[in-house]
Every structure is written in C-alpha cells, then in structure tokens.
Amino acid sequence: MALEFLKALNDAVVAHAKMQPEQTIGETIKLHTVKDGLPHLNGVQLVVIGILENRRDANALFQVESLDHVREKFYELYPGNWSSTIADLGDVPPGDTVEDTYYLIRQLTKHFLQESIIPIFLGGSQDLMYPMYRAFDEFQHMINVVNIDCRFDLGNIELPITSRSYVGKMITVEPYNLFNYSNLGFQTYFNSQDEIELLDRMYFDAIRLGHLDNDITLAEPVLRDADLIGVDMSVVRAGDLASAKANPNGLDGKQICSLSRYSGISDRLKVYGIFEINNERNYGAQLVAEMMWYFIEGYNYRIFEYPVDVSKDFMVYKVPVDNQTLTFYKSTDSTRWWIELPFISNVNNKLKQHTLLPCDRRDYEMACDQVLPDRWLNARRKNEV
C-alpha cells in the first residue's frame, strides 16, 4: 500500500506540535510519528503530505530536505470554526529515480481519490503535478487543471519532463484526459510568444497578473471548475516571501490566500498542491502555512453544489444573443452563477459531463450587452474541434 512508503515526521516537529497551546492545529491534527506510526484515517477529510523531490527543477541548487519549517508555522495557527479532521502523514522521500517518486505520488493520489480524502501536497518542484494528474486516468475521462503560476509551464514537449514543461506532457501524452488548463497570475515576459499562441489555439484560459490585481474575484469561477490545482510559489512577489531570490512582481500575500480559499471552497476540487517552496528556513513559511489555513477554511464552507442540480434552489435567466439564447443559473444558496453549455448534435461532443460552466454576474451582464463570455466561447470551440 502506498501509505506505507511515507516517511514519518521528525521527532522535533512532532514535539513542536505538542508544545503548542490548547486548541491550536498542532494540538488537534493527527500525526504520522515514528513512535505510533500512521494515524487511522477514519473520519479524516484532509491530509498534508510533503514531497522531498525537486530533481526536475533546473534552477534548484540543492535537494529539498525538509518542509518542517512550514509545518511548524502551520501547527502554531488556530483553526477556524471547522468540522473537518486533518492528518499530517509525513513525507514522500525521493526515490532512487524521479520516476520512482512519480509512481508513489500517483499511487497516493489514486488512493485518496478512492477514499474521497483531499490531499494537500507540499513540494518540491511543480512537475510533481504530472503524476497527480495521471492518477485521474482510471476515474473520469476529462479533468480541469489550474496552475497558479507566473509561467504557463508548457515547455518543449520533445524534451524530457521538467518543472517548466509538465503541462505540455499533460496535453500530448496519452491518455488525453485534459479538458481544460487554466493559468492564473501569468506575467507575459516570463512566457514565450509560442506558448502564448499555443494557449490561445487550444482555447485554454489564462488571467494575467494585472487583471487579478484589479479584481481577484475573476479567479473564482476558474477555481470552482478545477479538479486539480497547483500553486508555484514563484507567483508571489519577493516582498511577501521575505526572499531576495523571488520575483519583484507577483501576487501579494492577501491575494494568494484569497485564491487558496477559493480553491478550498470549490466543491469539485480533489487535489491541491503548493510547490517550489523556498527550502531556506523561515523564508515564506508563514505565508505557506496561512495558505494552507485558508484552503482548509474554504473547504469547511463548501456548499456542495457540484454536480449542479438546477431543478431546485436556482434562478434561471435566459438572454438572447445574436441567433441563440444563453441560459444562466444563479444559486439562491451561494449566489454563485453558472452558464449552460448546450448539447451540440452531429459532432463528437466532449461536454456531456460539463453541461454547466461556472461564471459570475459579469458574464451575465456582458450577455445582456450582447457580448458572448470568453470562457463560454472557449468551451464551445473546444467542443467543436
């Protein structure tokens, strides 16, 4: 069983957890310890797993050896009004080869998908998203992946996989399970024009940093539709990471925590990862811990509207645009919006499980102004390819 290969937490970090005041996360979380072994997962909804693997990161100077600096900060926080139970299962040690690590991550992800437990992976290089993505192969045909990153990570598909090319492998390697890839927070000068044009040709979604700076809520419908979300910490600006090695421009701490909360609230999301965490002690550890906190906070506020049942507790709005009628649905419980993707006959329709697309009120208002929403157009174009 894949769980048996996980490395127990160091005694020092376990002692740190037990030294925390009553009611902190360190006092309430289940721990994988050397003394007691793996905790029972009955009733556990979320697990934390570190991954000590970054050999496919060309910019990494050293092997990642520990993520305990993040754990210590996380254990010191107080939980919100949460009903969920959390366990920290320790670390995935680096295998003899990177492929060995990939195999273990894939098996772990598959196990948690089967058990309906959401893993919060702490990495490690972001190519680790690839085996997580592959774990979905046996469960459903098409999934949506969101990358919160200053880069697209499409890369050169002819070369071996790296932390800058894993998305290209998702697109080109069979089985073809990627229905939609979305990027949040990209910066144009970090991406080649070839990559930008390829994203456009494949009708994938991308929201640049400047647009998120103006309105972070633009990301919510994208994250609501995701099965797998990965955060590359290089998307956060240097000042908020207290690191001179990070990028001068990027999302601030408040924004990345908002995106983490949106991710947790997504009823559809099954796997969440935070990658490229600075291995130097204390740099960014507090922010990563707070991102984890906001993700779990979001999870505890899930309304469970996915899969969407519009037969009850939904308001319907029909908007004629050109020669068609767009149908919008607004939940009376959460006030969230969806737009219908009509079944298109006489083609090989790929959208039978994606009949409703998350959107927001702005998309409805655009339709009222006779403008077709971009995400709706992209979904229709992908269906017609």
The one-digit pLDDT tens for each residue of the chain (385 residues) are 799 999 999 999 999 999 999 999 999 999 999 999 999 999 999 999 999 999 999 788 788 989 999 999 999 999 999 999 999 999 999 999 999 999 999 999 999 999 999 999 998 999 999 999 999 998 867 899 999 999 999 998 899 999 999 999 999 999 999 999 999 999 999 999 999 999 999 999 999 999 999 999 999 999 999 999 999 999 999 999 988 778 999 999 999 999 999 999 999 999 999 999 987 667 799 999 999 999 999 999 999 998 888 888 899 999 999 889 999 999 999 999 999 987 544 444 444 444 899 999 999 999 999 999 999 999 888 877 6
pTM, entire model: 0.95
Residue whose pair of structure tokens reads 């990494």 in the numeric block: 60
Helices (H), the chain: 11-18, 25-28, 68-75, 98-115, 129-134, 166-172, 193-201, 209-214, 220-224, 238-241, 253-265, 285-299, 361-368, 374-384
Per the CB < 8 A criterion, the answer to whether 298 and 322 are in contact is no
How many CA atoms lie within 13 Å of 265's alpha carbon, on the beta-carbon side? 18
CB 16 within 8 A of CB 56: no
* Contact status, residue 75 vs residue 17, Cβ threshold 8 Å: yes
- CATH no. of 2-299: 3.40.800.10
pLDDT at 379: 87
Nearest Cα residue to 148 out of 275, 283, 338: 275
Q: What is the pLDDT, as a whole number, of residue 343?
A: 54
End-to-end CA distance of the chain: 41
Quick one: DSSP state of residue 66?
Answer: -
Residue extent(s) of CATH 3.40.800.10 domains in the chain: 2-299
| Closest of 139, 337, 128 to residue 227, by C-alpha | 139
The per-residue DSSP string of 244-264 comes to: TTS-SSSB-HHHHHHHHHHHH
Sign of the dihedral defined by the CA atoms of residues 211, 215, 216, 220, in that order: negative
